[in-house]
């Protein structure tokens, strides 16, 4: 399809054009001391996190969404990692921060950050996704922007020490099965985590090579690869070991799925297989006919993404996309597909499959399971309608 240069029709013929000297070649630029901490080009100043005001009443307990359509690769820049907190981001001095581990342990211990850094240090690339990512999509296409339909999702290289190494140092007592993990913020944010999910967890102090940002939990956060965002407790200051869950507000009244029969599913930890096309998307309309590089993100809390298929007709026919390397477990995976648009209407969808064989469901199938009142855990296929003028809208096709 992309074999001949003529078929591509990209760029402007050089022909008889005079070679122009770029103005930037005619005078020196800024010195190395102009930006002690580098910032993006001023031409990129629209690439920022944004709030969806009608979803939350106050910025102290809200979400600021990642601009997925503006990003490339799979790593989210630290300043654009989505922010979700329940009582504002505290300012914590690392020297005074402590982590208490107590409960069913032989040696209850208070750790300073320097103490924690004596355990073996590991890095792990993984996504964090709020269980409420996609909440507005339960009720159909109410928001027309990929940042708001999917932007409670980011991916970083997290560095820290293994939670299990630290728990082993404290010595787990018989009967230890659950952890209560609590943040030092004014929300009193606390969540129960079963010990088997702690296997891969990190007590993280760094994010993409630098100290974790204040909004992301400076100076210490829990990272639990593959598990819903709320388990990744920020500003972590206390872990209690027990034999059963604590049934905190954030795992009963919130982050629980109300079923059609009026009962609620509690403790849905793993984020199911999911994907979305980020370009084209409402923020990335097609600028004209011809060749375009379609691209998107896929992820699964169960492990590796093994395939992503793309449909142009609302799910009747599918074509495999290319998975861009590296493909890492419980990380974002970038998929790409060159497409040739002749100006027709498209109903674009992506459908991801993970290494456990889980296939992303349709919205109709998900609604049958979880009813119409859902907020959390929406991993259904999303449809973008590309209109004949190239604009893109979020629609529902089932
Ligand atoms: N202490 C504390 N930890 C917290 C929260 C919070 O409000 N307080 N919010 C949780 C929720 S619901 C999510 S989705 C993730 C979001 O992490 P991020 O803000 O770094 O994206 O943090 C979790 N950890
Ligand atoms: Mo969340």
Residue nearest to atom 12 of ligand 1 (CA): 230
Tens digit of pLDDT per residue, the chain (398 long)? 455 555 566 777 766 566 789 999 999 999 999 999 999 999 999 999 999 877 777 888 899 999 999 999 999 999 999 999 999 999 999 999 999 999 999 999 999 999 999 999 999 999 999 999 988 888 888 899 999 999 999 999 999 999 999 999 999 999 999 999 999 999 999 999 999 999 999 999 999 999 999 999 999 999 999 999 999 999 999 999 999 999 999 999 888 888 888 888 889 999 999 999 999 999 999 999 999 999 999 999 999 999 999 999 999 999 999 999 999 999 999 999 999 999 999 999 999 999 999 999 999 998 888 777 788 999 999 999 999 999 999 999 96
- Counting ligand 1 atoms within 8 A of each CB, the residue from 189, 203, 237 with the most, and so the one to mutate, is 189
User: Which atom belonging to ligand 1 lies closest to the Cα atom of 235?
Assistant: 1
Residues in the ligand 1 pocket, defined by CB under 6 Å: 81-86, 128, 130, 154, 183, 185, 187, 189, 215-216, 229-230, 232-235
Q: Give the Cα separation of 4 and 6 in Å (integer).
A: 5
Phi/psi of residue 44, nearest 5 degrees: -105, 20
CB 236 within 8 A of CB 181: yes
- Counting ligand 1 atoms within 8 A of each CB, the residue from 85, 147, 186, 214 with the most, and so the one to mutate, is 85
Alpha-helical regions (H) of 138-286? 146-150, 163-170, 249-252
**109: Cβ contacts below 8 Å, ≥ 6 apart:** 100, 101, 169, 170
CATH architecture of 83-265: Alpha-Beta Complex (3.90)
Q: Give the Cα separation of 53 and 192 in Å (integer).
A: 30
Q: Give the Cα separation of 215 and 207 in Å (integer).
A: 12
CATH number for 274-395: choose from 3.40.50.300, 1.10.10.10, 1.10.3720.10, 2.60.40.650: 2.60.40.650
Q: Give the Cα separation of 335 and 19 in Å (integer).
A: 38
Rg (CA), the chain: 23
CA of 31 to the centre of ligand 2 (A): 42
**190: Cβ contacts below 8 Å, ≥ 6 apart:** 180, 181, 182, 183, 233, 246, 248, 250
Residue nearest to atom 11 of ligand 1 (CA): 230
The domain segmentation of the chain, as residue ranges, is 83-265, 274-395
């Amino acid at each position: 399809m992309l074999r001949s240069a003529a078929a591509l029709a990209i760029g402007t013929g050089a022909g008889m054009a005079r070679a122009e000297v770029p103005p930037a070649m005619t005078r020196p630029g800024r010195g190395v001391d102009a930006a002690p901490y580098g910032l993006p080009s001023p031409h990129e100043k629209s690439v920022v996190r944004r709030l969806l005001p009608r979803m939350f009443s106050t910025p102290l307990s809200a979400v600021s969404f990642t601009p997925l359509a503006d990003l490339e690769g799979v790593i989210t820049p630290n300043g654009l990692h989505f922010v979700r907190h329940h009582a504002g981001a505290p300012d914590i001095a690392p020297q005074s921060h402590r982590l208490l581990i107590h409960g069913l342990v032989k040696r209850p211990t208070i750790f300073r950050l320097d103490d924690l850094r004596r355990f073996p240090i590991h890095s792990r690339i993984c996504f964090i996704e709020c269980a409420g990512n996609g909440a507005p999509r339960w009720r159909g296409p109410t928001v027309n922007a990929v940042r708001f339909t999917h932007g409670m999702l980011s991916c970083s290289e997290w560095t820290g020490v293994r939670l299990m190494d630290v728990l082993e140092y404290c010595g787990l007592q018989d009967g230890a099965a659950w952890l209560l993990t609590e943040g030092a913020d004014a929300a009193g944010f606390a969540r129960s985590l079963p010990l088997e999910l702690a296997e891969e967890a990190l007590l993280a102090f760094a994010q993409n090579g630098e100290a974790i940002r204040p909004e992301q939990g400076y100076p210490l956060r829990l990272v639990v690869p593959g598990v819903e965002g709320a388990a990744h407790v920020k500003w972590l200051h206390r872990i209690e070991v027990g034999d059963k869950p604590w049934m905190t507000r954030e795992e009963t009244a919130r982050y629980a799925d109300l079923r059609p029969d009026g009962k609620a599913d509690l403790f849905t930890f793993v984020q199911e297989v999911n994907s979305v096309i980020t370009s084209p998307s409402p923020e990335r309309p097609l600028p004209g006919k011809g060749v375009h590089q379609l691209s998107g993100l896929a992820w699964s809390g169960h492990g590796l993404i093994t395939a992503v298929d793309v449909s142009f007709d609302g799910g009747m026919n599918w074509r495999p996309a290319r998975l861009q390397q590296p493909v890492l477990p419980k990380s974002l995976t970038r998929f790409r597909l060159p497409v040739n648009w002749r100006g027709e209407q498209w109903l674009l969808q992506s459908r991801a499959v993970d290494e456990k064989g889980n296939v992303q469901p349709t919205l109709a199938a998900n609604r049958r399971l979880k009813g119409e009142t859902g907020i959390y855990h929406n991993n259904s296929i999303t449809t973008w309608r590309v209109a004949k003028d190239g604009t893109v809208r979020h629609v529902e096709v089932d």
